[in-house]
Structure 1
């Protein structure tokens, strides 16, 4: 079972079974594994005899963090179970601390499998989060086979790479995605996470349970314009594109997880985290853009948030020259790559979007570089230097490289950051770059209204702004968002309880929030609905509130602000047990400054005496859980 802990220790080892002198009747090196729910555990060799089956096991995990193997682990073959007899190099049910290398090896000994066994499963007990490796082959299989439930015509459609990139679609509609986990085995994935990168809404995230009997999951949502999407289901990231209003089938080949294990083991090769996993097949308008062959192993990226991308000591002119030269170098590399033509087009569009962001956010990126170099993350403290601000003249150098308002850019992979950059209210792009009458001018007008529509707070002035856009798609999209928000709000009416924020000045707000719970342990969670790590932490805590952390002496207070769309917020909080407050901008800003909060999630812990302090070490969930357990015991 995977566990995280931040301290280093040595694990005791024991050999609980006696296998050293057992004659081996069969040995299988590098067995192919059909599918797995983890990249932490792998099996490099299987030894079979009449008295035991021994797995030579390799572990890969973060240095100084720990894993654990349950004594209830077993092998499964032909419907029968074979129990764990002993271990060597690791002690069952005890913490095993990963060394500095992040790699370790140990052996697990089980009751003997029958001699005619062709494949078996390793099940590290039946808990949901435990390691599971399915279809460990003993016949000499060397590569994955595509599951038979993926239609041949779908595979052919995805392998037929288009000769050119389709134009973006300026329409909206309710999109349906039917996810099929092909080759699914119970235990591979409980849920599917879908992330949709949109032009207007930023990244929209959805979660759907997997039907354990069929290995399927369903999504339905409103979509505004073309969008790139990612699915996480078990191992690997699967990338595809969505046309608004379509109903598509998405097939995820679960056998590719086993192929990834074998590649790492035999070739010391891991799938890059930014590349699409092979074995993803989609139907629909953009089926041909699903192929992993379109996406490079190494991205042609400016790496804007690395130390090398922007030096705070650069003048505006030097930074501009740096961006121009980097763009030219990377675009030349794309042209010379072996990507298919549409793959080159996608890579170049992504680079162009990044270049626009580099110039639109150049001052902020160099400020970020300063903070990174000096480890100075207190944003309330001014910098010791003055960043030389970019001007319209600097940005003009970018406009000479390519048209920055080419509508085809709305099919690029960096669509969200590009939309924010081209609509930056501090830059008069329409005037500077002669973009009046283009979608760039429309985006500057409508993007600030997206949150207002989600919060059902559009004014008459806002509606007049919508009437001034050149492309009616943007007006219609905002009004449809408003309509959908109104419908959704009615559906959650009475289900979501938002506590009344105390009517005190901001400097007295925190004390007023915790005053009713004097004498109890209080965890104050700063979060928002758009924060993925916030949601993950909250989801991990929910079952604990009825288990290890169930106590009348522990109070959970959740603070969000108005950047959480009202409807999304009201839909979320009925599933989060605790006291919920939605602060205005002034209140939120004051508390963040009071506690020097550097981002969310952030946590303030109040003990029984009323003493409180920021505890961002609680971002490590194990630290949070164990600390709270001790305080309420």
Structure 2
């Protein structure tokens, strides 16, 4: 009996010591460098010699199924540690997945093999859903970022915020960005969202980051304009001046963490942006303010008639890739020289983009404003092609019936080659981006890649319960027919002909 008692005591002490060792190596709300998701955030990472435990908060719409891929890994240096267990998440849907509660968030846990010795940060990567959290710190400190001395001097500089001259002036504005904390192992999607005076909406331009963390992007402007610059899921607003250059120095970890649910309170007011050049005092003053509302120039309201005429000309040039006689007549009625100069800048850009698409085997991939939802998605996609019939094909790279139908499209296009028809292909994030890009040259036409919320919203609005799906848009821009599943070449042929009547 005494031996049994001693054995039990030793076992209990061993478990206590083991648990203590486990708790001793844990980080609450670890800092990170950048993230390509807003639906998953790490609340704690704990590790010992036996396993690595990642506690997280999973965000989503009520009713969403909690599923994660078995290909999910922790990348630690050169090693990729594959997920072994999960709590409250179904791996590959092999067990009955839980549903997202009404709160829109749920606590989940991922279990991985033990981390190799000497690792200071890891990346959590979910390849099937195409998201990752990069540079996750294994200590309580934020990621180390070297900041040059002149940034400290810039932060201490009390520049007077003088009133900016607001006037109509067409010109290109340049943004030279310098990202501190960037690593070439991190994917980084840099987007500049620009208000469009022609549509009262926004359009986006993208650029790749150089290995040294720098980038350059330009915007055509008609007046002082507030734009939004996004780096993966983090974003900030700034003011650009036509014809001027703006430099922005970005602390990537702080910019990312300031927009994290779990770390926002700690980093929302941290210094993370430094501006130089045009409107530097204004931008630096607003860079540390939370919730600043940045409005478009009110001067555009003084030239609405000219903007309406310019908008029609621009749409025609996007469609025809040249200025026709009707466009020239409309342009002659534009009274504002600034609006005319701006229109010419935009037309030159549209034609250049089309020429690039033509040289890339007849396809073009366009960006859609990520805030558009429901009916606005379809109307925005087809708006430039009023007067033409439009076939919108909803597809995915992994969809066998979609791929089979795509192989039949050249025959349809050949039979309708004498008619004014635009072919648009819309896919969702479940199509692996690399595979999607590889397929684009084989699918002539106009391509869009929607966000997950946009795809769900579009399908819900039009009751699309499977793919391939098709919309036939008539020459007046109205939805004429909808199909779920490939209806056959003869049906599409007849309906597209009808759409032009």
Using structure 2 for the length normalisation, give the TM-score.
0.62
Q: 5 Å matches for 1:522-541?
A: 527-528=380-381
Question: Hey, what does 1:243 align to over in structure 2?
Answer: 241
Aligned partner of residue 552 in structure 1, secondary structure: helix
Q: Is the 8 A contact 1:35 1:133 kept in 2?
A: yes
Q: 5 Å matches for 1:175-194?
A: 175-186=173-184, 188-194=186-192
The Cα shift of 1:528 comes to 2.8
Question: Hey, what does 2:61 align to over in structure 1?
Answer: 62
1:282 aligns with 2:142: no
Question: Hey, what does 1:551 align to over in structure 2?
Answer: 404
Question: Hey, what does 1:97 align to over in structure 2?
Answer: 99
For 2:402 and 2:54, the matched residues in 1 are separated by 37
The Cα shift of 1:462 comes to 4.6
Alpha-carbon distance change, 157 to 257 in structure 1, aligned in 2, over 3 angstroms: closer
1:172-215: CA deviations, max 9, x gaps?
Answer: 33333333443124565442221122556744523324347444
1:188-246: CA deviations, max 9, x gaps?
Answer: 54422211225567445233243474444442343333211101211222111112223
Partner of residue 450 from structure 1, selected from 278, 296, 310? 310
1:556-576: CA deviations, max 9, x gaps?
Answer: 98679xxxxxxxxxxx98443
Gaps of 5+ in 1: 1-18, 300-346, 348-411, 423-439, 499-523, 532-537, 561-571, 596-602, 613-633
Alpha-carbon distance change, 70 to 450 in structure 1, aligned in 2, over 3 angstroms: same
The Cα shift of 1:93 comes to 2.4
For 2:181 and 2:123, the matched residues in 1 are separated by 17
For 1:241 and 1:267, the matched residues in 2 are separated by 23
Aligned partner of residue 197 in structure 1, secondary structure: strand
Alpha-carbon distance change, 36 to 266 in structure 1, aligned in 2, over 3 angstroms: closer
Aligned partner of residue 122 in structure 1, secondary structure: strand
Question: Alpha carbon RMSD of aligned pairs, Å?
Answer: 4.8
For 2:82 and 2:352, the matched residues in 1 are separated by 54
Alpha-carbon distance change, 90 to 24 in structure 1, aligned in 2, over 3 angstroms: farther
Alpha-carbon distance change, 582 to 250 in structure 1, aligned in 2, over 3 angstroms: farther
Question: Hey, what does 2:46 align to over in structure 1?
Answer: 47
For 1:539 and 1:152, the matched residues in 2 are separated by 52
The Cα shift of 1:98 comes to 1.8
Alpha-carbon distance change, 254 to 225 in structure 1, aligned in 2, over 3 angstroms: same
Q: 5 Å matches for 1:593-612?
A: 605=484, 608=487
1:86 aligns with 2:91: no
Q: Is the 8 A contact 1:57 1:105 kept in 2?
A: yes
Aligned partner of residue 289 in structure 1, secondary structure: helix
Partner of residue 295 from structure 2, selected from 413, 430, 435? 413
For 2:393 and 2:248, the matched residues in 1 are separated by 28
Partner of residue 463 from structure 1, selected from 332, 346, 354? 332
Higher RCO, 1 or 2 (CA under 8 Å, sep at least 6)?
A: 2
Using structure 1 for the length normalisation, give the TM-score.
0.51
Aligned partner of residue 252 in structure 1, secondary structure: strand
